[in-house]
Amino acid sequence: MLILMTVKDYCKKYKVTDAAVRKNKNLVTVKYNDLTYIVVEDNEVEKLKNKVKLQNSNIKALRNEVRIYTKQDEVIQEQKERILKLENRIEKLEDKLDKQVETKENLFRDVLGHMNKQLEHNN
For 67-87, the pLDDT digits (tens) are 888 888 899 999 999 999 999
Sheet holding 28-32, edge to edge: 2-6, 35-41, 28-32
CB-count exposure of residue 116 (10 Å: 0-12, 13-18, 19+): exposed
* Three-class DSSP category at 51: helix
pLDDT of 123: 67
Are 35 and 6 a contacting pair, CB within 8 Å? yes
Nearest to 24, CA basis, from 5, 38, 8, 35: 38
Residues of the chain with pLDDT under 50: none
Q: Where are the domains of the chain?
A: 2-42, 44-100
- What is the rounded CA–CA span in Å between residue 23 and residue 80? 76
Q: What is the pLDDT of residue 96?
A: 96
- How far apart, in whole angstroms, are the C-alpha atoms of residue 9 and residue 14? 9
Q: What pLDDT sits at residue 28?
A: 87
